Structure 1
Amino acid sequence: MSLLSKLLYLRVKVEYSPKKLKTLGVDQDLPFVYVLSSESTISRSILWEEINRGNLPKPFKLDAEFGLNKSILASKKLVGYWNRQTDYKEFEKQLTDVITQIKQDGAKQLQLIPISVFLGRAPDRDHGIFKVIFSEKWGITGRFRKFISVLVHGKHTLLRLSQPIVINQELDDSKEAPERMAHKLSRVLRLHNNRVKTSVVGRDLSHRRTIAKNIIKRPVVQQEIANYADRRKMPLEKAQKEAQKIIREIAADYSYSAIKFMSGIFRWFWTKVYDGVKLNFFDDLRHLTTEKEIIYTPCHRSHIDYLILSYSLYERGIVPPHIAAGINLNLPVVGRILRGSGAFFLRRSFNSVLYSTIFSEYLSSLIAHGVSIEYFIEGTRSRTGRLLHPKAGMLAMTVRSYLNERSKPLVFVPSSLNYEKLMEGASYKNELGGKGKQKESIGGLFKTIKLLKENYGRLTVNFSEPIELDKVLDKHQPNWRDIKLDVKEKPQWFKNVVSDTGNQILTHINEASHVNPINLLAVTLLSTPNRAASEDNLRAQIRLYKDIITQLPYSERTTVTGLSEDEIIAKGIFLGFIQRVEHPLGDVIQVKDEMGVLMTYYRNNVLHLFAASSFIAMFFVNNLKHPRREVLRMMAIVYPFIKNELFLRWTTEEFVEYGRQTLATLKSLDLLVSTGRNLERHKGGSLQAAQLRVLANALMQTYERFFIVIALLKKRGSGNLTSNELESLCHQVASQLSLLYEFNSPDFFDKNLFRQFISVLKDEQIIRVDLAGKIIHSDNLEPMYQGAKTILSRRIRHSILYLL
């Protein structure tokens, strides 16, 4: 032991707290022992060396008097080599022997002096990454980590001593058995040690130990464990172990050191691969963090989404949220790092009632403790660039948890994450081209290291207006404050709250869109023949889109790049999306062949911003003039369908009013002119006519897809198709059209989009389903069919009808 002490003291330098030990009130004439907060060979060696150097009084030998064979005890020890667990039995047995001796001989007394040894303190912002990794932390510390901590932090070792606990004659007044008293005293020391550690290291933020530990004890979980044991015909103890395994799989292991370590990596990462991270409307969020329970709900476009919010909040002095991550990310090493940064893991499917109950209770516990949370209501990353329809699971559990265990008012904070270039671009392109999704793995992670050699442009995060859950609940169930729901209870008003909240979140995300250079290039060049345009025409079209966004703001939180048209083109070339083809009559800017499919992703990010202007432009592609009143009437008819697909923010009346404003803006930009009650475009061959056609093409495929559904219903007639048959036929027709006419947009034949459109047709009572499951359409189908004929070219209409 002395040899180890001497080796340790090549690095160790001890500080004391308090510095004057006399203030502790230790009576050195009475027997005393030191009680370490945790058994550790290193801590015991440091303590003995300090005693031998005379810096601490030497404890008594108590083997004869109390039967103790040690002068330094430990209130807990770790057992096991790999899967180490905490054990208190040895210490409680030692206390039991002491208490028994004192009860037998009232003259005896023993002082217990609590002492804790800390190798370093809680990390601060100025610590280096390596020091942060091996700072003191909560939870079980491995032997190797302890050894490295000595090397890194040995010169800042702290010995924290506390006032002695005296075991004496007064114990005779208690009728409790020595074993029971020893157990109580052990718990008192544990509580004391936790408070001491909090003052040195900081709060224990690891809910895997503090919150998750208590999840299993909850009555609803205990009841489900018993039910699980009955269903599986297994012993209750085995079911308990299954439950403990589940909570360990789920729970985060939040720690200061992990957060600091990851922030150092991210700071390097953003600098290396991005041109910066821009946060807009952040100051509006700051005041919420102290007043509200916050659920961050960003859009989900990249694995980087998991990291950017946590990093950005930490850098601005706000505690990063706990993040709901897919179990596919719980990889060796990576999973542990993510847990330390606040990730808790969920399975793709909640088929097990036991799993669902434990996960729901864990989420409730986080909310009850005021822990901010982040999750993606789309469920998975969007591969098309469109927002995906919300998954109800996490939202439903959040609403139920808030009803049952609210502490502060809860708000959802949607945000839009905008990338000029996605790190997953290559894999998305493959998936859009029909290849299967690659499973996450360590090998795949190492393969992505080569991506760090590229530049990914600028990353912009726009925070939207928060959504107050209280207001949504008041709208659907005014007496919700008097209601509690169990895990299986789902009244209709509850479903309405979940659905309404999900749609509001996605709508708010779109309100907070940022339009970057690649979005503008994509929405322009994908609407031109051969995905190419002369440089002058491209500049003019980009300028038009920027004018529409600024003169017809979609919302107060919609932003657009401040780069000039020339800078936008240069950025697209630099990031590898487009190329310049030199020509004597003027250079041509063209989308690279291998980037055509991927560019649809960036176009789809911002399509909703042109929902009105593009629709209006469609009326004038095949018609020189059109009545203003008819344009606005058709906008009212079609709005429910595009609202559902693009998560638009208006009511029908507001959309029609926005349409009036759009008509006025298009006239001010000289794209349309008034001729009495009609509106008229410039003649073909003019720049204005060309610009109007490109604007129309931005959303043309959406309405072509709508026409496929309507035309199929009209041709097949009522009562002949089921919803599934109609969906499948639409997919087949659209995919063949894509091959014949090079739409170059995989989402054109996306089954989910057809399914959603068919669903809205039912909601709007255009169609209904009879008892046999067949679709019956109403007379309202005919006006929609005639309206579609007005805006679609004869070539496209005939091509669709021919394939039917």
Structure 2
Amino acid sequence: MNLEQIYNKKNPWPARESQRVLFILDVRSSLEEEVLRGWVQHHANVDNQAFDAPQVCIDLRDERTGFDSGQLVMSLALPDDTLIVPLRIVWTPSEEGAMTLGRLRHLITGDPRRPSPRRGKRILSTAPERVHLMVGKPDTMSNLKHRFEAHHAVDNASSQEAFASFVARQAAVVLDMAERQLKGGRYKMPRHVASTMMASSDYNAAVQRLADEQGKPKEELMKEAAQYMKEMISTPTSFWLDVYARFNTFCLGLGYEQDIVYDQASVEKLREIVRNNPSMLLWTHKTYLDGMVVPKVMWDNDFPMPHMFGGANMNFPGLGYLLHRAGAIFIKRSFQDNELYKITLRHYIGYLMEKRFPMNWAFEGTRSRMGKLMPPRYGLLKYVLEACEATEAQDIHIIPISISYDIIRDVEEYATEQTGRGKGAESLKWFIGYVRSLARPMGKVYMDIGEPVVLPRAPEPGDRLALSKIAFEVAVEANHVTPITFPSLVTMSLLGAAPKALTEEEVIGDLNALLGWAESRNVRISHDFDRSFADQMAGLLGIMIDENIVTRYDEGPEIVYGISLEQHPVASYYRNTVIHFFVNKAIIELALVKASESDAEKALDVFWEQVDHLRDMFKFEFFYAPTDEFHRQIREEMACYGDDWEQSLAQGAAGFGKLLQGMTPLVAHVTLLTYTEAYSVVASLLARKEAHDTWEEKDCVTEALTYGRQAYLQRRISSESSIGKQLFKNGFQMLQSRGLTEGGADSLKEDRVEVARELRELLRRIDVIRAIGVANHGSV
């Protein structure tokens, strides 16, 4: 195949009547210019064109230097019906080269998709199938002028240059679209964002209003805004997207199985959503690796790379450079008083949403140190929704995504942090050490996609109630699609039995009971959960033993498994990842104990009173359905143990015993013990203070960490998993919500003592459930 045969594959000349044609040639070298000019001339001769069309050469792909649009300015003085046709050469790698895309050695040897003139000539002569001539969708001069005038604010002195830059950007966009037909959707990326924003009439108007308010020249603010754009706007390229994809695969593959577990049908549904709607992908946050999971799944399925908000703590040399060129948006930690920064960020987000570039971030704002979902942080959601409101976006889709792991390398660090020790600062040296620490077997990674929260329009800016409701819906759905995995069930079983160890048969019995309960309630279970785990106890359980999460003793007549006391904080983390599924049942069990100890005729009222009281006590730990829906869930669960459960309650202890017979597995002691003990530590400290003493959260946590250690040594609490900063903070919030932390009248002293007494009584009821569970099944 020679050059003429390459030319004959496609004709660059558009179908037209009498219009003139202007070709914009996107070239990076003299070779590319020569080939594209030859292509135009070849078809002009073949078709006997009566005139030569003007041709302008410009590099449309280098955003760092801007456009050299001087020649284009002169060429745009053509009739309004002139057709503007962009052309480009796309070089694809060889089959062997495609396997090595994204290797850092290409920084030295050159990206095979951007060959030097010498290499390009060799490709033309030896592998012409790697050469593709692209035609961007033509447009008329009049259409381009109309679009430019509708959305751009420029003065007369710079209008010609601004229009030329606009035409160049549009040429780049349509050429990119044509190129993606060849390369795939994963290479869709925003181009020339900063210059587009700087020319936007809406953005200019917003900056002008701010300039008027602050009494500053607009030019001064625009210069400052340009610096902000340089900091925040991501500049992805095909090469760095390949590097990032390879990097993600490498890091995740160090310790986890190669294939992430997800439902393909859900991914295809996600594809349709992000293609047709402004979308946000909000994922749960357990480890630093979470930010790699969604991009990897999307890359593997040929999605456009989602733009990711990143904390400034991760923008250090090396990693920050890579992430910035792979879709990461690093924003300042605090910019509440910087109106220009907020305007710039809002318009940038609005641009990305309008162009259907999905946004993704961890909506908890930080890694969960306890395993369960953290309260959502509203900051980024607020700014994205404000940007949607400003651009009048419709049908905004917020998709909750749950990311789970069999084993997480960070958990030991979390357990240490919760005892009061500080977290080290992130740096390149720290990150290299972190990556090296991943090289150990850790099982599988799971990504589960929830039903989207759909907003016909964004709420009004400042509507905090609407924002909190949206975040709550996202959190509930994220919890709903979090799957039960083998490690979460094993730790739940063994922590329920602690300090007792269980035989293999007892462990299997517990797992079957927990799994059976979950399946009967349609709880999400991992797609590849191996229900023949009885035959494979050495597999994932073996990894947990190697990680010292589970202990195994095989020198007696039977093999037994347990969790040593010092490992309770670590094991609790894995249990907590699915604890939300069992909270309602735990509340029911504790309410039943209380009701069984009251007068028979009052038992039902006592039951519901306790259900609501416990829901309120742990409202800072768990996400509940609204009250009416919550009560319906309680009734549905109770109906599983008999349609006559209300009559059974009225029978006192006998009815209680009848109900408990069908309630296996019992879960109150393994679900709520940790939280109740932590709250008890905090309440006991507060009860010792005088009524006029005011207690601050910081002092509460400091004192509770010290007293918690003493309480554990005295065995007033059962394990170190009940000692933790986050637990004590939530306990403080519970007391604060009851008005007990601010100093007050003398009667406040008795109120504080009463809540401490109430928590001790709740611990007694948990012990009752534990005793019944141990007697019946040896564990949960």
TM range (shorter): 0.7 to 0.9
User: What is the one-letter code of the residue matched to 1:520?
Assistant: L
Cross-structure match for 1:245: 227
1:120 Cα deviation after fit: 1.4
Work out which of the residue numbers 722, 745, 751 in structure 2 matches 1:748. 722
**Residues 601 and 315 of structure 1, relative CA distance in 2, 3 Å threshold:** same
CA distance in 1, matches of 2:33, 2:201: 38
Q: 1:643 aligns with which of 606, 611, 619?
A: 619
| 1:298 correspondence with 2:283 | yes
Given the superposition, is the C-alpha separation of residues 593 and 344 from structure 1 closer, same or farther in structure 2, using an over 3 Å criterion?
same
Cα displacement (A) at 1:409: 0.6
Name the structure 2 match of 1:378.
364
Relative to structure 1, is the Cα distance of residues 704 and 650 closer, same or farther in structure 2, using a 3 angstrom cutoff?
A: farther
Give distance in 1, aligned partners of 2:744 and 2:201.
Answer: 45
C-alpha displacement of 1:603: 1.7
How far apart, CA to CA, are the structure 2 residues paired with 1:433 and 1:13? 73
Give the 3-state SS of the residue equivalent to 2:193 in structure 1. coil
Displacement after TM superposition at 1:420 (Å) = 0.2
Alignment of 1:16 onto 2:7: yes
Task: Summarize deviations over 1:455-474 as a string: whole Å, max 9, x none.
Answer: 22122222223222349x7x
Shift of 1:497: 0.9
| CA distance in structure 2 between the partners assigned to 1:523 and 1:643 by the alignment | 22
Alpha-carbon RMSD: 5.5
Whether the 8 Å contact between 1:259 and 1:340 is mirrored in structure 2 is yes
Distance 1:183 1:361, change over 3 A: closer
* In 2: Cα distance, 1:301 partner to 1:234 partner: 45
Structure 1 pair 412–664 and aligned structure 2 pair: CA distance change class (3 A) = same
> 2:137 touches 2:175 (CA, 8 Å); kept in 1?
no
SS at match of 2:583: helix
Asked whether the equivalents of residues 642 and 648 of structure 1 are also in contact (C-alpha less than 8 Å), the reply is no
Give 1:734's match in structure 2, choosing from 669, 684, 708: 708
Contact 1:413–1:464 at 8 Å: present in 2 too? yes
Q: 1:625–1:680: 8 Å Cα contact kept in structure 2?
A: no
**Counterparts of 1:157 and 1:337 in 2: how far apart (Å)?**
29
Q: 1:496 aligns with which of 465, 474, 484?
A: 465
Pick aligned residue for 1:505 from 457, 471, 474: 474
Which SS does the other structure have where 2:624 is aligned?
A: coil
Counterpart for residue 277 of structure 1: 260
Q: Does the 8 A contact of 2:70 with 2:161 survive in 1?
A: no
Provide the rounded CA distance (Å) in 2 between the counterparts of 1:79 and 1:375. 28
Q: 1:678 aligns with which of 653, 661, 666?
A: 653
Task: Report the AA paired with residue 231 of structure 2.
Answer: E
CA contact (8 A) 2:551 2:563 kept: yes
Query: Which has the higher mean CA deviation after the structures are superposed, 753-762 or 290-299?
Result: 753-762
> Which of 470, 493, 518 pairs up with 1:549?
518
Question: For 2:94 and 2:623, how far apart are their aligned partners in 1?
Answer: 43
| Inter-CA distance 457–192: structure 2 relative to 1 (3 Å threshold) | closer
Give me the TM-score of the superposition, normalised by structure 2. 0.74
User: 541, 544, 566: which is aligned to 2:534?
Assistant: 566
Q: Which residue of 2 aligns with 1:703?
A: 676
Query: 1:574-631: CA deviations, max 9, x gaps?
Result: 3423232114342221336875432221122122222233345557999997775344
2:91 maps to amino acid: G
Q: Deviations over 1:279-334 (max 9, x none)?
A: 24716645534554322111111222222223323444544432222233334453
State the AA in 2 paired with 1:128. Answer: A
Please give the secondary structure, in 1, of the residue aligned with 2:466: helix
Q: Residue type of the partner of 2:553? A: V
| CA 143–639 in structure 1, closer or farther in 2 if over 3 Å, else same | closer
Please tell me whether the aligned partners of residues 504 and 560 of structure 2 are also in contact (alpha carbons under 8 angstroms): yes
Is 1:792 paired with 2:763? yes
1:364 match:
350
2:69 equivalent among 83, 88, 94: 88
User: What CA distance in whole angstroms lies between the structure 2 residues aligned with 1:622 and 1:732?
Assistant: 32
**More divergent stretch after superposition (737-746 vs 240-249):** 737-746
Residue 605 (structure 1) aligned with residue 590 (structure 2)? no
Q: Would you say the 8 A contact 2:415–2:569 is kept in 1?
A: yes
Once the two structures are superposed, the pairs formed by residues 226-241 of structure 1 within 5 Å of their partners are 239-241=221-223
User: Match for 1:342 among 324, 327, 330?
Assistant: 327
Q: Judge conservation of contact 1:378–1:389 (CA < 8 Å) in 2.
A: yes
Which amino acid in the other structure matches residue 640 of structure 1?
Answer: D
Distance 1:285 1:113, change over 3 A: closer
Cα displacement (A) at 1:517: 1.2
Contact in 2 for aligned 1:34/1:73 (Cα 8 Å): yes
Letter in 1 for 2:491: A
Q: Does the 8 A contact of 1:618 with 1:700 survive in 2? A: no
Q: Which of 383, 390, 394 is matched with 1:397 structurally?
A: 383
Query: Greater CA deviation, 780-789 or 506-515?
Result: 780-789
Q: 1:294 to 1:464 in 2, by over 3 A?
A: same
Match of 2:553 among 581, 584, 607: 581
CA distance 1:513–1:223, change in 2 (3 Å): closer
> Whose radius of gyration is greater, 1 or 2?
1
Any conservation in 1 of the 2:274–2:356 contact (CA below 8 Å)?
Answer: no
1 CA distance for matches of 2:195 and 2:717? 51
Q: Indicate if the aligned counterparts of 1:634 and 1:787 stay in contact, CA closer than 8 A.
A: no
Deviations 1:108-139 (A, max 9, x none): xxx99988451415x999982435789x9xxx
Q: 2:639, 2:210 → 1: CA distance?
A: 66
What amino acid maps onto 1:788 in structure 2? L
Structure 2: any 5+ residue segments left out of the alignment?
Answer: 46-52, 142-155, 769-780
8 Å contact from structure 2 (residues 67, 165) kept in 1: no
| CA distance in 2 between partners of 1:409 and 1:112 (Å) | 35
The answer to whether the 8 A contact 1:221-1:358 is kept is no
C-alpha spacing 1:308/1:132, structure 2 compared with 1 (3 Å): same
User: What is aligned with 1:633?
Assistant: 609
Q: Does 1:521 align with 2:490?
A: yes
Kindly provide the amino acid, as one letter, of the partner of residue 374 in structure 1.
N
Change (3 A) 1:21 1:722: closer
SS of residue in 2 equivalent to 1:649: coil
Q: Structure 1 vs Structure 2: percent identity of aligned residues?
A: 17
Q: CA deviation at 1:642?
A: 1.9
Q: Which amino acid aligns with 1:611?
A: V
Whether the aligned pair in 1 keeps the contact of 2:483 and 2:524 (CA below 8 Å) is no
The question of whether the paired residues in 2 share the 8 Å contact of 1:254 and 1:340 is answered with yes
Q: Does 1:328 align with 2:313?
A: yes
Judging changes above 3 Å, is the alpha-carbon distance between structure 1 residues 211 and 675 closer, same or farther for their aligned structure 2 residues?
A: same
Aligned: 1:199 with 2:149: no
Contact 2:306 2:360 in 1 (8 A): yes
Shifted more, 245-254 versus 691-700: the winner is 691-700
Sort the Cα spacing of 1:774 and 1:219 in 2 relative to 1 into closer, same or farther, 3 A. Answer: farther
What is the aligned counterpart of 1:469 among 455, 472, 485? 455
Alignment-mate amino acid for residue 383 of structure 1: R
**Structure 1's 756 and 784: CA in aligned 2 closer, same or farther, altered over 3 A?**
same
| Cα distance in 1 between the residues matched to 2:695 and 2:524 | 43
Deviations 1:349-375 (A, max 9, x none): 225333233222212222233332212
2-side partners of 1:776 and 1:560: how far apart? 57
> In the TM superposition, what is the alpha-carbon distance from 1:346 to its structure 2 partner?
2.2
2:398 aligned with 1:412: yes
TM-score under structure 1 length normalisation: 0.72
Give the SS at the match of 1:644: coil
Is the 1:263–1:311 Cα contact (8 Å) retained in structure 2? yes
Which residue number in structure 2 is paired with residue 171 of structure 1?
Answer: none
SS of structure 2 residue aligned to 1:349? coil
| SS at structure 2 position matched to 1:302 | coil
* Unpaired stretches in structure 1, ≥5 consecutive residues: 1-8, 58-70, 103-110, 168-176, 474-479, 798-804
1:608-661, Cα deviation, whole Å (9 max, x unpaired): 22223334555799999777534443222121232331113352x554554455
